[in-house]
Structures are given as structure tokens and as C-alpha cells.
């Protein structure tokens, strides 16, 4: 027996779904006109959304029968007359056609099928006329465009059902509104993904670029995967093509409703427009999907995320597009990019020299403190040895302090976006910290903080890490110097 107070039903209202609701709550919405009796509903255990008229639990509501709190009231029905006989409508009509009995009322499902058939035939006629070009002048009128977009809000569910029921219609029925801010090719891809039969072809996904604001792009997403599909888009700049910027990457999310979703505009946090250049756009699914679209996780990724440094390794990529963003790829862009690359080559050469000098200085600092500790830290220090260490400590710390002040100015964002060899300087930060740690442990022995045995153990551990960082940095610098330039003449660097 159906529990009328259990909140388990989701109801599709206009262009979104609501719930969970109980049957009593849905009965009230029906009486107030917020929900239509032929609307779609879904609950846990159902494979897909179904019309309310096709779900047995809603039959009492549609017949205007009152619901109780989980117990159906017993209704009284009069006994059928023992000799009652159904009227012979056919014979009555023949004898007196003007006074014949009225035809039995058509069922709700039959009325829906009849209206759906009429609507589908009408729409097919309109689509045929549109494909022949007869309606093109009409659709150019702004008022007609606004009207068709408003009509699509309620016709889209019907069109989607038509495509699902009649797969042959998927090649020419559009289930998304007219999008004037995307290219014709993008619009065709968006339409195709939205209208393709899920049962026949499986989940389909498409990305389209909105060109309303070139410096702050946004993206459309369509899919046949189900209402409420949640997605994330990763925007990754191709380094050699970005103007006045070494790299750029960001991510943004959205939700698909009635087969179509759109992201917010993409900018820097301070409102600046993104760098002009070539970008790759990756569409992915989020983990927190609604139950009707859980199956999207079974879709085959179009490319592995393992080779894309900006994406999490477990990311499932569903679609990929390439765009030139934040302006035109014109002569002005080409000239400015050439000037930027010339400056970048000079900067890369300067950074390489600077990174090698810092590495040599830190290596020297490390060797100095190791040698001094070996000389003075073999046994319990004498007053003379403490005095000698203290003098060395002041001189050593002055140099290391100057280095640390420089290292602190390198923020992770500036190293990634403003430095050509930012990874080298990030390693220099870590190396400088490790060298300071070694010296700090050694200094603790001469100030009485630690005993000789404990100092030797911890110093050995930290020294091993320092040597590892030195070798890692030296290896990366050596490889970078041996890499040939790119076809555009730019020095290469390892992805980090």
C-alpha cells in the first residue's frame, strides 16, 4: 500500500524538477495548478521519468479521490442492478441518429496520444517547411525569434520524447533553442548531442563557445544523458600561443536543464580578461550526479587525462574542443606575439643564468655548514669551539638570510605564469629551506638544544634530502640546456 506521506517523488515542473514530495503534497500542487496531471515523475527504483498518468500511485489523484495519511479510505459503491444491460449504441444510432447515446469518453492516455500525434504532425510540417527555406524570412523577425524561444520551453520535452519514440526524427528535430552567439558548426554539434537517441547511441556530449564577450568567454554544453546533468569544463591555454602570458588554466561548472547548460563567463579573479591565444576545452562529469543520470559514468572518455598536467588524473573527459579565445587571430596578434617571444627568449636566457648561480650559491652554503660541523661537532664542544661556531653561524646566516628574502618573493602564481623556468626557482626555494634546516639542526647542538647523537641522526636525514634536491635541480637544468628550440624558435622546458 502506498504511503501518502513519504517524501520520495520528484516532479518535473516547466524547465526543472522539484522534490522529493509526498503524494499529499503533489495532490495539493495539482489542485492549485502548479503541477499538470500529464507531467513527468520519478522516484528511486524507476529506470526513467514517466508521465503521472502512467504511474498507478497517482491514479487516485488524477481521479480527484481524497488521500489519507497512508491508508486509503473505503468507498461505498451501489450494487449493480441485476438486470441492467449496456445500451446498444450502434443500433440506437442507426434507428435515430439524432437522438443516439453519446460516445464513451476517451481515456486520458488516449487523449494524450491523440494530442501528441496532432502536435507531432504539425511540428513535422513546420520542420519540413523550414528545411525547404519557406520560413527563413519569418524567423528573422525579432518578435518571432522571442516567441519561438518561449515556445521551446514547453515543446522541448515533447520533442525529446518524439526523438526517443521515433529515432528517425533525430536527424532534423532541434531540441534546444536558437543560439545566435555560437558558430553554425557549434550549433549543429550542440543540437546533435541533445537530440540523439540515448537508447540507440548511448550518452552524447557537445561543447559550444559563446562569443557574446570575446575577452570573457562562456561555454554551452548539451547532452542526452538526462535532466540535471552536472559538468565541469577545464580551460587550458597552449603556452606558445598565449599573448603576454606563459600559461593559463582554469575550471568552471554548470548544470544541464532541458538538454542545455551554460557556464558563467571566465575571467581572472580581479576581473581582467584572459590571455589571447589558442585553448583546449575539456568537458568532464562531476561525481555528484542525480540518480537518473548516474549511467553517464559508463560513457567512454574521448581522451585520457593522465597526459594533461592541468587535470586530475582520475578525470573522465567526455568531449574536447579547441578555440582561439579573447580576440581575433589577426595580423596585430601575430606581430605582438612575435615581440613577446623575442622578449621571452631573452628572459629565458637570463633566468637560466640566474637559476644556475643560485644553485651554486646554495650548494656552497650547504658544503660550508657541513664542513664546519664535521670539524667542530665530533665531541662535546669546548668553549673555544662554541665561540668559533658562533662566529661562523653569524657569517653563514647573513648570506642565507639574504637568499631567503629573495625566495620569499616568489609566489606560486608568479612562478607558474611569469617565469619561463618557474620550476627551477620553485626547486631553489625548497633547496634553500632544506639547507637552512640542516644548519639549524647543527646550530642546536652548539647551543645545547640537542645532544650529539640526536643531531647526527637528524642532520643525516635532512642532508640526504638536500643532496636529492641539488641533484634534481642540476639534472633539470642540464636537460633544459640540451633541448632543441620549438618550431617557433622558443626554448623548450619540461612540463611541471
Q: What are 400's three cell numbers?
A: 642565507
**CA 161 to mean position of chain CA atoms:** 27
* Most confident among 39-43, 361-365, 486-490 (mean pLDDT): 361-365
Provide the grid cell at 51.
Answer: 508521465
Q: Tell me the three cell numbers of residue 395.
A: 657569517
**Which of 225-229, 463-467, 492-496 has the weakest average pLDDT?**
492-496
Averaged pLDDT, 386-394: 94
Using alpha carbons only, what angle is made at residue 212 by residues 208 and 216, rounded to the nearest 5 degrees? 85
| pLDDT value, residue 430 | 95
- Report the share of the chain in percent with pLDDT over 70: 71
246 or 463, which is more confident: 463
Task: Mean pLDDT check: name the lowest of 238-252, 398-412, 441-455.
Answer: 441-455
Write down the mean pLDDT value for the chain.
78
Tens-place pLDDT, residues 332-379 = 999 999 999 999 889 999 999 999 999 999 999 999 999 999 898 777
- Measured in degrees and rounded to the nearest 5, phi and psi for residue 228 equal 85, 15
Question: What contacts 235, CB < 8 A, 6 or more positions away?
Answer: 248, 249, 250, 251, 252, 266, 274, 279, 281, 325
- pLDDT tens digits, 143-165: 544 444 444 445 555 555 555 55
Res 271: pLDDT:
86
Specify whether the CB–CB gap between 82 and 38 falls below 8 A.
no
pLDDT at 38: 77
Rg of the chain in Å (alpha carbons): 36
pLDDT at residue number 215: 83
pLDDT beyond 80 at 142: no
Cell of 349: 636566457
pTM check: above 0.75: no
Mean pLDDT calculated for residue range 268-284:
92
Q: What is the pLDDT of residues 161-215, one digit of tens each?
A: 555 555 544 444 557 888 989 999 999 999 989 888 788 888 899 999 999 888 8
Whether residue 219 has pLDDT greater than 60: yes
Name the more confident of 196 and 274.
274
pLDDT (average), residues 101-123: 50
The pLDDT score that the predictor gives to residue 294 is 53
Residue 267 has pLDDT above 80, yes or no: yes
pLDDT: which is higher, 207 or 18: 207
pLDDT higher than threshold 60 for residue 395: yes
The pLDDT of residue 85 is 37
- Domain ranges within the chain, ordered by starting residue: 9-62, 179-327, 332-482
User: Measured in Å, how far apart are the chain's first and last C-alpha atoms?
Assistant: 61
Query: Which superfamily does CATH assign the domain made up of 179-327 to?
Result: Immunoglobulins (2.60.40.10)
Ramachandran class of 465: left when φ > 0, alpha when ψ lies in -120 to 50, beta otherwise: alpha
Residue 390 pLDDT class (50, 70, 90 cuts): very high
pLDDT at residue 136 greater than cutoff 60: no
Amino acid at each position: 500500500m502506498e504511503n501518502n506521506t513519504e517524501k520520495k517523488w520528484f516532479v518535473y515542473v516547466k524547465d526543472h524538477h522539484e522534490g522529493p514530495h509526498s503524494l499529499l503534497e503533489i495532490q495539493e500542487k495539482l489542485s492549485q495548478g502548479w503541477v499538470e496531471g500529464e507531467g513527468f515523475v520519478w522516484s528511486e527504483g524507476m529506470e526513467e521519468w514517466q508521465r503521472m498518468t502512467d504511474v498507478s500511485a497517482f491514479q487516485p489523484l488524477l481521479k480527484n479521490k481524497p488521500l489519507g495519511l497512508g491508508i486509503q479510505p473505503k468507498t461505498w459503491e451501489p450494487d449493480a442492478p441485476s438486470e441492467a444491460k449496456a445500451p446498444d449504441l450502434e443500433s440506437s444510432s442507426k434507428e435515430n441518429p439524432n437522438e443516439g447515446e453519446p460516445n464513451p469518453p476517451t481515456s486520458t492516455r488516449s487523449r494524450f496520444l491523440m494530442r501528441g500525434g496532432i502536435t507531432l504532425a504539425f511540428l513535422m510540417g513546420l520542420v519540413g517547411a523550414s528545411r525547404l527555406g519557406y520560413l527563413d524570412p519569418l524567423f528573422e523577425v525579432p518578435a518571432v525569434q522571442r516567441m519561438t524561444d518561449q515556445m521551446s520551453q514547453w515543446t522541448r520535452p515533447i520533442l525529446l520524447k518524439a526523438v526517443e519514440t521515433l529515432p528517425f526524427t533525430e536527424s532534423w528535430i532541434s531540441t534546444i533553442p536558437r543560439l545566435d552567439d555560437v558558430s553554425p558548426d557549434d550549433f549543429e554539434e550542440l543540437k546533435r548531442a541533445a537530440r540523439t537517441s540515448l537508447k540507440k547511441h548511448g550518452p552524447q556530449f557537445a561543447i559550444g563557445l559563446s562569443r557574446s564577450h570575446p575577452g570573457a568567454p562562456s561555454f554551452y554544453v548539451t547532452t542526452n544523458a538526462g535532466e540535471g546533468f552536472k559538468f565541469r569544463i577545464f580551460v587550458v591555454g597552449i603556452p606558445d600561443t598565449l599573448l603576454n602570458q606563459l600559461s593559463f588554466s582554469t575550471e568552471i561548472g554548470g548544470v544541464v536543464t532541458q538538454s542545455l547548460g551554460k557556464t558563467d563567463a571566465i575571467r581572472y579573479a580581479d576581473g581582467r580578461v584572459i590571455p589571447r591565444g589558442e585553448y583546449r576545452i575539456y568537458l568532464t562529469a562531476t561525481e555528484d550526479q542525480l540518480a537518473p543520470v548516474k549511467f553517464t559514468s559508463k560513457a567512454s572518455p574521448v581522451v585520457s587525462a593522465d597526459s594533461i598536467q592541468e587535470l586530475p588524473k582520475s578525470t573522465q573527459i567526455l568531449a574536447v574542443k579547441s578555440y582561439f579565445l579573447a580576440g581575433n587571430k589577426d595580423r596585430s596578434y601575430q606581430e605582438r606575439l612575435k615581440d613577446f617571444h623575442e622578449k621571452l627568449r631573452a628572459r629565458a636566457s637570463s633566468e637560466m643564468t640566474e637559476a644556475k648561480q643560485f644553485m651554486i650559491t646554495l650548494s656552497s652554503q650547504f658544503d660550508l655548514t657541513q664542513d664546519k660541523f664535521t670539524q667542530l661537532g665530533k665531541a662535546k664542544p669546548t668553549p673555544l669551539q662554541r665561540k668559533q661556531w658562533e662566529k661562523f653561524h653569524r657569517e653563514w646566516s647573513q648570506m642565507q638570510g639574504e637568499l631567503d628574502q629573495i625566495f620569499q618573493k616568489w609566489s606560486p602564481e608568479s612562478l607558474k605564469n611569469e617565469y619561463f623556468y618557474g620550476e627551477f626557482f620553485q626547486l631553489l626555494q625548497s633547496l634553500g629551506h632544506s639547507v637552512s634546516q640542516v644548519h639549524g639542526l647543527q646550530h642546536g647542538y652548539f647551543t645545547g638544544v640537542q645532544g650529539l647523537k640526536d643531531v647526527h641522526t637528524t642532520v643525516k636525514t635532512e642532508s640526504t634530502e638536500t643532496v636529492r634536491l641539488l641533484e634534481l635541480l642540476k639534472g633539470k637544468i642540464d636537460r633544459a640546456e640540451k633541448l632543441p628550440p620549438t618550431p617557433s624558435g622558443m626554448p623548450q622546458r619540461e612540463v611541471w
